[in-house]
Amino acid sequence: MTAVPDDSRPHPDHVLAQALAADLDDADFRSDALRQLWGAESDDALARGLREPILRALADREDALPTLGRLWVLGMPQPLAAVEQALPRVGIDGLAALGLASVEGARIVPRALIRPQSFVDAGGVGEWWIASDLDEIALGSSLPADHVLGVGGASRTLAELVIPTPVERALDLGTGCGIQALLIARNAGHVVATDISSRALAYAELNAQLNGVRNIEFREGSLFEPVAGESFDLVVSNPPFVITPRATDVPEYEYRDGGMIGDALVERFLRAVPQHLSPGGVAQLLGNWESSSAVGSGLDRVRSWVADDLDAWVIQREELSPLAYAELWIRDGGTLPRDAEFTRLLTAWLDDFADRGVTAVGFGYILLRRPGVAARSGYESGADTPDVGRDAGNGPTSGVSAPQVHPYAAPLHRFETVTQPVSGLGRALATGLAAHDLLAEGIPQRLVVAPDVTEARHFMPGNDDPSVIELRQGGGFGRTLKVDPALAGFVGACDGELTVGQIAAALADLFDVPLPELWAQIEPRIRELVFDGLLVPAE
């Protein structure tokens, strides 16, 4: 039989990878088939680190799908004869040549996991096979420092965030197992995937081969070094942003630790990425940022890292105390409170935070966009008022002065905390950017209420008038906005038939308020509703 490669990383080979893919396909090695094989409850238990329910469900079955499930999903040795029967095309020699398994007597011992990963994007529903290193369940120990992670929660989050727009050139910085590169390759002419880890790049290249994706180029190096002098229409990154103390004997996991002090890696990324964005190009990433007694809130610090001429949309999803943050990432490495190492690692983390005055660590999403070739213009006189200076049958216009250039004509700088459940964020971000660009030329003349928006009114007992009126967004950011009766009336009248000017004039008459006064009150809130996607231009 073919000798196992000396090093422990995979050895991509297009012919062998395609043979393995054909075997997996014949065995119906897919998420749905596996979940049906061992049951939904057992499948969910595996996500919590429990594999015993799956083993009980499979019992002693040695046909193809149970054999491959134990071998690749659980990372357990399997009988040689059963694996030979399940993988006739690639064979045992092929697995060894790929660096995915080795032979020990009458057993095949996996050296990697391969798990189906389903996805949904604008192109439809699909599924890939994703190879990665054996996890702590398969290893029976904490993870080694050069561990290559499979598809985790952060990977799924970033995948949901990426704006689904076709681009010519894209960059996946810190590709890991390659999942983001595979996803963006579906909408990109050419993708460059980089990583500081040659081991991670080997997995990423193998995964591209397994799934027949050919428009990805792999390069080794730190941050933007492998793409010096190049620019891209889209840059995505799930960088190694985890804040790790630079203390002796604290594991420096390559997949999550960038080797810098505090949140310096995220800062360096944000300061460097603009020179690698094409005009109109977008960068999207996940990150951590510190709040401290010396420099203030984390979001303010992130704001200071972003160039003034860029569009920036930063969303903080959660903020953890130093203790909660340290415990989270120590557990992530496979070290539990019952382990002797846990207290030592916790002390190192807490000492590091205390020495630097860190009071909290935020986590969230960052979107940057470089301005396009054409500079954004200001508003023409009266472009964002109800028909100023024109008489088109849209109601009274006298006394409303044309405003100066509105902030929407300038780059977008939005830094916010969003803690409610969210969904479809890639589309929501795209909608927000498009609305920002649209508002730079004025509020659209006709608006309609987005189909996922509902209104809730709260009344005090015995009162006929509501004490609180809320607009609630069903998708995207799931925002709930409090509005006053005038704005609620405006939204209620947005059916696409009446113009903004007609609605504003009618409300001014209804509330017996001068039109300029009413417009000054509701105009900023209308812009907010358009930007947030609660009001959209009428078609």
Mean pLDDT of 522-530: 95
Mean pLDDT of 502-513: 94
| Among candidate residues 516, 528, 506, the one with its CA nearest the CA of residue 408 | 528
The predicted pLDDT at position 394 comes to: 38
| Lowest-pLDDT choice from 275-279, 294-298, 376-380, 494-498 | 376-380
Q: Reduce the DSSP state of residue 132 to 3 states and report it.
A: strand
| Lowest-pLDDT choice from 24-38, 151-165, 222-236 | 151-165
The predicted pLDDT at position 7 comes to: 65
Higher pLDDT pick, 143 / 530: 530
Mean pLDDT of 76-87: 96
The predicted pLDDT at position 373 comes to: 54
Mean pLDDT of 149-172: 92
**What does DSSP assign to residue 383?**
T
Higher pLDDT pick, 89 / 404: 89
Mean pLDDT of 133-141: 86
Mean pLDDT of 229-250: 88
| pLDDT tens digits, one per residue of 450-506 | 999 999 988 878 777 787 899 999 999 999 999 999 999 999 999 999 999 999 999
Mean pLDDT of 417-440: 94
The predicted pLDDT at position 177 comes to: 95
Mean pLDDT of 402-412: 59
The amino acid that residue 460 corresponds to is M
The predicted pLDDT at position 254 comes to: 75
Higher pLDDT pick, 539 / 299: 299
Domains along the chain with CATH numbers:
1-116 (no CATH), 407-537 (3.90.930)
**Which ranges of 356-448 does DSSP label H, i.e. alpha helix?**
425-439
The predicted pLDDT at position 386 comes to: 55
Q: Give burial (CB, 10 Å; 0-12/13-18/19+) of 92.
A: middle
The predicted pLDDT at position 407 comes to: 53
The predicted pLDDT at position 539 comes to: 83
Q: Reduce the DSSP state of residue 16 to 3 states and report it.
A: helix
The predicted pLDDT at position 402 comes to: 36
Higher pLDDT pick, 35 / 408: 35
Say what percent of the chain tops pLDDT 70: 92
Mean pLDDT of 300-307: 94
In the predicted structure, residue 398 carries a pLDDT above the cut 50: no
Higher pLDDT pick, 141 / 354: 354
Mean pLDDT of 402-409: 48
Q: If you search the block for the tokens 């096979």, which residue do you land on?
A: 129
| pLDDT tens digits, one per residue of 162-214 | 998 999 999 999 999 999 999 999 999 999 999 999 999 999 999 999 999 99
Do residues 231 and 281 touch, judged by C-beta distance below 8 A? yes
The predicted pLDDT at position 228 comes to: 96
Mean pLDDT of 21-25: 97
In the predicted structure, residue 43 carries a pLDDT above the cut 80: yes
Mean pLDDT of 28-34: 95
Q: What is the mean pLDDT of the chain?
A: 88
Do residues 34 and 73 touch, judged by C-beta distance below 8 A? yes
| pLDDT tens digits, one per residue of 49-78 | 888 999 999 988 889 999 999 999 999 999
In the predicted structure, residue 39 carries a pLDDT above the cut 60: yes
The interaxial angle of helices 198-210 and 14-26, nearest 10 deg, is: 60
In the predicted structure, residue 102 carries a pLDDT above the cut 90: yes
pLDDT band at 333 (very low <50, low <70, confident <90, very high): confident
The interaxial angle of helices 515-531 and 485-492, nearest 10 deg, is: 70
User: Which residues have a Cβ under 8 Å from the Cβ of 312 and sit 6 or more positions away?
Assistant: 303, 306, 366, 367, 368, 369, 411, 412, 413, 414, 415
Q: Reduce the DSSP state of residue 446 to 3 states and report it.
A: coil
In the predicted structure, residue 22 carries a pLDDT above the cut 50: yes
The predicted pLDDT at position 463 comes to: 75
| pLDDT tens digits, one per residue of 355-395 | 999 999 999 999 999 988 543 433 333 344 555 333 333 33
Helix (H) or strand (E) holding 194: strand 188-195
Mean pLDDT of 258-285: 92
The predicted pLDDT at position 383 comes to: 40
Q: Give burial (CB, 10 Å; 0-12/13-18/19+) of 41.
A: exposed
